[in-house]
Structure 1
């Protein structure tokens, strides 16, 4: 009798596991018009304000990115001296980090990225200029397997004085799906790659929410220099913590870190290799995917200022 009971319990558990698996696999893991978007196409609206609103309340944004290749950076990036207040958004000459840029009252046009920076930075995601994801190409063979990235956030002491601040992110590996979760809770920003916390930072000032008409998340700067896809956008009206992110990743990604919604990367290595030829290999052995891991978090410009 005991044996039959154990077998019955085992069968029930197996059935429940299979049901939960297929629910996770088949549910729609995104908000917005479509699952993924081409990185080379500009002015795409990816997360409507009807699905998610960037407000002053705690919130979470999750998406996944697959960079097939990024442009080569050829221009030297100018830095600025460490003076107070800093009134331009550029890397500091001391440690190559981006300090808080003081806007002219609430007009932050002076804190736009400088013309020298525009040659290597691309604004991949944006909710107005209130929160933006910027990324760069590579500067040498050493950092070629990775895409440097940072968040740019509008903050303020009150409604009369705003600032632009940065949150440096670990570089994103090329030719590999990377799920990114951005959590805002007061002045604290937590950024997860997969289910692992990579960055936790307090901004100097309180993040400023946009007017409701600006709460669309868009891809403003698509460029033919970028190849790949970004998608699976979902917004949550609460701050996610480690267990929440882990559960979300289990519902989004398979054991290889690829979203359940697709069975393979959007441009498979074999297909790219056969169409481009072995002489166009970016790095490593073109017969198989290279094994890459994100380096630990470090200032964004470590990867984008040392130009030969």
Structure 2
């Protein structure tokens, strides 16, 4: 029963990883950039949600929407200021810039508000316990999973059913051909950053309500784990990021269930090493031959 309990907790945690991983995979799919500042957008989202709840005295869902909106704008600003000038630069230059932006956000946050942690109020979401077949499942876990799944389904609808989604897929497939067809590539890339950052902001608020404690460097480990989830599923593939995130959460839950909770973080990177050795294209990816 303990293992099943940890499995349920792992699915809730995995849904948070999946939301962050979607931002990594969407940006990589279009501009072939690993946006290492993405974990810090998640952190900013957590703080915006916290201040919305404590200072503006809003409920969970209004705080979630505000956090998503602000993080979407923040993501577009990062793209326009830091990445757009490097659109035709080498990949290593863009990667180093992404790491620099990450440090700038982390220590900028510490400079503005200090390094002290904050705690989300415990009454943000109802914390009732539901008993199903002898299992005690928290209503928070179910609500978090439901919100995450709804956001993932909305993303699928945006990508496959809307005009901007079609533009994103076209740019991802062939940027030059998309330009010739009249698609505004710059706006499409900005929209991708906006959507990915909004999902990271939502993940930040969900994480804060679930784990309570937030602090300026909180985005580092979840950000790295979400990157592993994106690689596990096949980076650049949206369903892969969802499955990779959920799978990683389940693996962490099972490791804790078997009494190896100290190895939770280590196991994630063992998974990364194994996937890079045996299936570098990820679970959903296909091997692509490139001329060198």
TM-score (norm 2): 0.30
User: Highest CA radius of gyration, 1 or 2?
Assistant: 1
Higher relative contact order (CA 8 A, sep 6+): 2
Structure with the higher strand share, 1 or 2: 1
TM-score, normalised relative to structure 1: 0.29
Q: Which structure carries more helix by proportion? A: 2
